[in-house]
Amino acid sequence: MNAFPYKNGELYAEDVALSAIAADVGTPVYVYSVAVMTDAYRLFVDALSGQRAQVCYAMKANSNVAVIRTFAALGAGADVVSDGELARALMAGIPANRIVYSGVGKTREDMAAGIDAGILQFNVESLPELTALSEVAAAKNADVEIAIRINPDIDAATHEKIATGRKTDKFGINIEHAPQAFAQATALPGLTPVSVAVHIGSQLTDIAPFRTAFTHVAELTRQLRAGGIAISRLDLGGGLGIAYGDETVPTSAEYSAMVAETVGDLDCDLIFEPGRFLTGHAGILLTRIIFVKHSGERRFVIVDGAMNDLIRPALYGAVHAIQSVREPASDAALGEADIVGPVCESGDTFATACALTNIPAGEFLVIRDTGAYGAVMASGYNSRPLVPEVLVNGADYAVVRPRETLQQQLDRERFADWQD
């Protein structure tokens, strides 16, 4: 659904005018729609209704506790990759027995926190991690269920920086070494291997790499069972992409059908870890035009949002649709404009040669589809305050992360003892 429509000549978030949020909270500000997140979750879950599936929201996409609680209320679990994300999941009401702990660099402190919380499973990604987790579990007289994440050496044809399923990537254990890893796990105290895990990347817009990866998982599962290892659960990761523009992406129904075809005969519980699919379309970055600068034939629209607030265009070359909060006239002339921020980097550019009407300073723009990997990747570069976040539910809205103040930034730092 589109929860950001034009009504009465201006852009809304559900039933709240974005101009009202700008007046109340200021800009730049992230705005999230509960309705879009709810619809995306139900679309994904309903497609999997014929399978024993648990959706564990990949919190790295957006870890605001109000967003997590929205999914917790719908029955979601969580996929976490740090002790901080674990704490946020528990705070937001995700039951510990619906939490999966992923990540290639879990510390022993991370492992201990997960064990103490009683999470569902650890996704182990290396032999050294396997040994360390065994030692931590044994010291606590605990027995933990684990998955071993395999690396199937599949190029998912996504962006270089978010591909995770090739041998050259840091993730998982090469699939040809998986049987030995499972055998080692069964011999170690404190560990019960019950699951095979796989995740080959983010923002996948083609079903084929999933099909290949899940076929490998099915083959490995049969091999492990034949060797006496009782695999009862498969963690199939996330990665299903969304359309940022006019690209064609698989539907959740097409994805579910492929899952049934590849692993449906294994009689396993299935875990899925969507992130972007659930939150990407649900968020926008609302920003105000500071200046309009003309340099030769170039028109620069300088906004108060910046790459520290939304780094995807600078980091990935990501393209986000940009539109005016004030609805343009149907016959309004369009001209090319570069939408840029105030940070002292040429990379602080949200769009180049964007088709835009003649919008003056003081008006507002919206950068679409920023609910995933937006605020969660923000920084304080140039000593800019962290951007606030607003959650909209129908005609109601709430600030779910206030804007950071300069004093809060300064309070985090100290002079050295020898400095006056």
Predicted pLDDT at 200: 86
What contacts 211, CB < 8 A, 6 or more positions away?
Answer: 258, 261, 262
Predicted pLDDT at 151: 87
Range 103-272: architecture per CATH: Alpha-Beta Barrel (3.20)
Going from the C-alpha of 130 to that of each of 106, 112, 189, the distances in angstroms are 11, 14, 11
Read off the pLDDT of residues 31-85 as tens digits, 9 standing for 90 and up. Answer: 999 999 999 999 999 999 989 999 999 999 999 999 999 999 999 999 999 999 9
Read off the pLDDT of residues 311-353 as tens digits, 9 standing for 90 and up. Answer: 999 998 889 999 999 999 888 999 999 999 999 999 999 999 9
Predicted pLDDT at 357: 92
CATH of domain 6-32+280-411: 2.40.37.10
- Cross-strand partners of 219: none
pLDDT at 162 over 50: no
CB atoms within 10 A of CB 243: 12
Three-class secondary structure of residue 192 per DSSP: strand
Predicted pLDDT at 18: 98
Three-class secondary structure of residue 397 per DSSP: strand
Catalytic annotation, pick one of 56, 268, 344, 354: 344
- Please give the structure tokens belonging to residue 344: 């002292």
Three-class secondary structure of residue 16 per DSSP: strand
| Domain residue extents for the chain | 6-32+280-411, 103-272
Between 186 and 1, name the one with better pLDDT.
Answer: 186
Distance, in Å, from the CA atom of 236 to the CA atom of 212, rounded to the nearest integer, reads 12
pTM beyond 0.75: the answer is: yes
Mean pLDDT of 223-238: 96
- Please give the structure tokens belonging to residue 223: 């091999």
**Contact indicator for 214, 252 with CB cutoff of 8 Å:** no
Three-class secondary structure of residue 201 per DSSP: strand
Mean pLDDT of 239-247: 88
Read off the pLDDT of residues 82-104 as tens digits, 9 standing for 90 and up. Answer: 999 999 999 999 999 999 999 99
Mean pLDDT of 141-151: 95
Is 354 part of the annotated catalytic residue set?
no
How confident is the prediction for the chain on average, in pLDDT? 93
Between 248 and 34, name the one with better pLDDT.
Answer: 34
pLDDT at 155 over 60: no
Predicted pLDDT at 33: 98
Mean pLDDT of 370-386: 96
Predicted pLDDT at 170: 66
Q: Calculate what percentage of the chain has a pLDDT beyond 70.
A: 96
Residue where the block lists tokens 């990537």: 169
CA angle 412–69–145, rounded 5-degree value: 95
What contacts 372, CB < 8 A, 6 or more positions away?
Answer: 61, 62, 242, 275, 276, 278, 279, 280, 283
CA angle 374–376–378, rounded 5-degree value: 75
- Please give the structure tokens belonging to residue 271: 């875990």
Predicted pLDDT at 38: 98
